Amino acid sequence: MSVEDHEDHEDRRHPDQPDRPGAPEGREGREGREDAAVETVEALVRRQLAQALGGRRGMVEAAVPTILFTLTWLLGKDLRLALTVSIAAAVLLLVVRLVQRSTVQFCVNALVGIGIGWFFVQRAAAAGGSEQEQALAYFLPGILYNGGYAVVLALSCLVGWPLVGFMVGSVTGDPTAWHDDRQVVRLSSLLTWVLAAPCVLRVAVQAPIWLAGDSGALDPDTAIAALGLLKIGLGWPLQLAALAAMVWLLARNHTPLRPAAEDPA
């Protein structure tokens, strides 16, 4: 090859193409891989929410004990039996998880919920409440929990530190650095409000029914049946709807977890 041919060959080579194996890459190649490695806030939040909800199986494990408690009470009017059946179901689901060596978080959550409900039932019994009033008391903790959770979520947005933002901070290693990015704060606030909406709706629908059943304005058995159905209907289906809304919002944005490095002048 002549000198002229060699120079023409060099001129046609891409300016960022390495001259030989192991040679430094061009700037565009490096930046492309860096961009691919940078996870977006949206992808992170989607993953964190999926883990928090436990997927379909986690939602089923949360719903089964409530379904069995409500059906057992309505069919037999035996509160102790209803509590026993719901606890047995939660324990069985826990054992299956243990045998499969998968996470037991959602089964334990169900057992904790039943335990708190049982505590309220005992308090109602100690106060001289009838079995119907005790069965109503089983649903009170869920209403109080959703009310409290909604207040916490709303306050976190109002003070400018939305709770969803801490999901980002828990992964990036700095729990508060995300707050310096206005775009991340805005997105986290919007997602936190969406997360709070199901809690607000549950309280708005269930609290009046519980109060009506407790005061006698509504037949207690009717109130118990309605609360059992609503706890399921406004449970994972409503959570899935909120998650779908959040996924839609997340799909519209691609906010980097960390700012991209600026090109040197």
DSSP string, the chain: --HHHHHHHHHHS-TTS-SSTTSPPPHHHHHHHHHHHS-BHHHHHHHHHHHHHTHHHHHHHHHHHHHHHHHHHHHH--HHHHHHHHHHHHHHHHHHHHHHT---HHHHHHHHHHHHHHHHHHHHHHTT--HHHHHHHTTHHHHHHHHHHHHHHHHHHHTT--TTHHHHHHHHS-TTGGGG-HHHHHHHHHHHHHHHHHHHHHHHHHHHHHHHHHHTSS-HHHHHHHHHHHHHHTSHHHHHHHHHHHHHHHHT---BSSPPPPPP-
- How long is the chain? 265
Handedness of CA 195, 201, 204, 209 (dihedral sign): negative
pLDDT reported for residue 61: 78
pLDDT reported for residue 41: 60
Q: Would 127 be classed as within a structural domain? A: yes
256 forms beta bridges with 40
Confidence of residue 56 (pLDDT cuts 50, 70, 90): low
- CA angle, corner 237, sides to 231 and 243, nearest 5? 125
Please tell me which of 24-33, 80-89, 141-150 the model is most confident about, judged by mean pLDDT. 141-150
Q: Per-residue pLDDT for 96 more than 70?
A: yes
Q: Would 259 be classed as within a structural domain? A: no
Question: What predicted TM-score, i.e. pTM, was given to this entire model?
Answer: 0.69
Q: Would 264 be classed as within a structural domain? A: no
pLDDT in tens, 186-233: 888 998 999 899 999 999 999 999 999 999 899 988 999 899 889 888
As a whole number, mean pLDDT of residues 71-81 equals 82
Q: Would 22 be classed as within a structural domain? A: no
Confidence of residue 255 (pLDDT cuts 50, 70, 90): low
pLDDT reported for residue 198: 92
Range of the domain at 66: 41-251
Q: Would 31 be classed as within a structural domain? A: no
Q: Would 35 be classed as within a structural domain? A: no
Domain count, the chain: 1
3-class SS of residue 256: strand
Query: What is the C-alpha separation between 163 and 180, in angstroms, rounded?
Result: 15
Q: Per-residue pLDDT for 148 more than 80?
A: yes
pLDDT reported for residue 233: 83
Q: What is the DSSP letter of 255?
A: -
Query: What is the C-alpha separation between 212 and 200, in angstroms, rounded?
Result: 19
pLDDT reported for residue 62: 76
Please tell me which residue, 81 or 45, carries the higher pLDDT value.
81
pLDDT in tens, 233-244: 888 778 778 877
As a whole number, mean pLDDT of residues 112-125 equals 89
Query: What is the C-alpha separation between 125 and 83, in angstroms, rounded?
Result: 14
Classify residue 31 as left (phi > 0), alpha (psi -120 to 50) or beta: alpha
Query: What is the C-alpha separation between 79 and 73, in angstroms, rounded?
Result: 6
As a whole number, mean pLDDT of residues 51-59 equals 64
Q: Would 51 be classed as within a structural domain? A: yes
pLDDT in tens, 1-32: 544 454 454 444 444 444 444 444 444 444 44
Q: Would 150 be classed as within a structural domain? A: yes
